[in-house]
Amino acid sequence: MIDRDHQLSITRQAKLLNISRGTVYYLPQPVSPADLALMRKIDELHLEHPFMGARMLRDQLNRQGIRAGRRHIRTLMLRMGIEALAPQPGTSKATPGNKVYPYLLRKLPITRANQVWALDTTYIPMARGFVYLTAVVDVASRCVLAHKVAITLEAVHAKEVIEQAFARYGTPEIVNTDQGSQFTAIEFTDTVLARGCKLSMDGRGAWRDNVFVERLWRSVKYERVYLKAYEGVSAARADIADYLDWYNTHRPHSSLERLTPQEKYLAVLPQLKLAA
């Protein structure tokens, strides 16, 4: 965006783009090894006890001999994009300027493929750093329709992954997300609504039907991510893609009558022909 070799000064370019000059010169500080280790422990505890907020996480960490303040833990939780799955004050407040859509899945029987898709994003630790994994899951079959590994939490990644799912699997009746900023952004919501889908959003911190994606995250992390120490983003992308392909085609679920997610998806939508 800023061309440091342009004849216009950086100050002038920043003014024309309506951004702070300080933003141009700011270099983000890398996360310290100590914080990376702490984030890994927070992530593990969050998977086991998703109802825990910063105070309870602090207490659990302290019992394990890890000293960390509540505010510091809360800061790291925000960076990781996680929060306690429990009712919280001010949950009706959206990101400023972003519209929150009503929750549509209450008492709705979900029995068909492409009836409801769920999107969520999770934190993925690496040997030195972390990335975010966003996935589209067909709720009826648990099939992962599309996914993306990215280094930031931005709407462009959510938009890209839902467009991948649209291109390969068609259009669902309802797309359900949480109130994360990447999902309430106009860039994402307009993409979904333009396809004629209804948008549904959980209350902040609510679990409801998002529990199916939370189970996917648990499988991804305990069956693959925590067994590895990815050296870089490309390694994480390749290995997670390999796991999700195996998950769809070779991992049967007791809740799916011992079928794999892809087998279940095709069973409830037999007319669909998967793209090559």
145-177 residue pLDDT tens: 999 999 998 899 999 999 999 999 999 999 999
Give yes or no: residues 170 and 240 share one domain.
Answer: yes
155 plus 264 within the same structural domain: yes
Judge if 263 and 182 occupy the same domain: yes
The answer to whether residue 51 sits within a structural domain is: yes
Mean pLDDT of 75-99: 71
Residue at 22 is within a domain: no
User: Is there a single domain that holds both residue 45 and residue 128?
Assistant: no
Q: Which of 27-36, 91-100, 126-135 has the highest mean pLDDT?
A: 126-135
Q: In this structure, is residue 12 part of a structural domain?
A: no
H and E: helices and strands count for the chain: 11, 5
The answer to whether residue 214 is domain-embedded is yes
This prediction's pTM: 0.79
Whether residue 124 is found in the same domain as residue 210 = yes
Q: What was the pLDDT predicted at 202?
A: 84
Q: Rounded to 10 degrees, what is the CA torsion of 220, 225, 227, 230?
A: 160
Same domain, 152 and 236: yes
Same domain membership, residue 129 and residue 38: no
Structure tokens at 17: 């783009």
Place of tokens 């029995």: 111
Tell me the three state secondary structure of residue 174.
Answer: strand
**Residue 141 included in any domain:** yes
CATH number at residue 251: 3.30.420.10
What pLDDT does residue 3 have? 57
- Whether 62 and 185 share a structural domain: no
Amino acid at 119: L
**Token representation of residue 167:** 């291109």
pLDDT of 211 reads 77
Residue 56 lies in a domain: yes
| Structural domain contains residue 142 | yes
pLDDT of residue 275: 46
In the sheet that holds 116-126, the strands lie side by side as 143-150, 129-138, 116-126, 174-177, 198-201
Residue span of the structural domain in which 228 resides:
116-268
* Beta carbons within 8 Å of 177's beta carbon, 6+ residues apart: 118, 119, 120, 158, 183, 199, 200, 201, 202
Mean pLDDT of 109-123: 94
The confidence score (pLDDT) of residue 276 equals: 41
Contact residues for 118 (Cβ-Cβ < 8 A; gap 6+): 136, 137, 139, 175, 176, 177, 209, 210, 212, 213
What whole-number distance in Å separates Cα of residue 105 and Cα of residue 95? 22
In this structure, the chain runs to a length of 276
- Asked whether residue 189 is assigned to any structural domain, the reply reads yes
**Helix, strand, coil percentages, rounded to 5, for the chain:** 45, 15, 40
Q: CA 40, CA 230: separation in Å to the nearest integer?
A: 13
Number of domains in the chain: 2
Same domain? 68 vs 126:
no
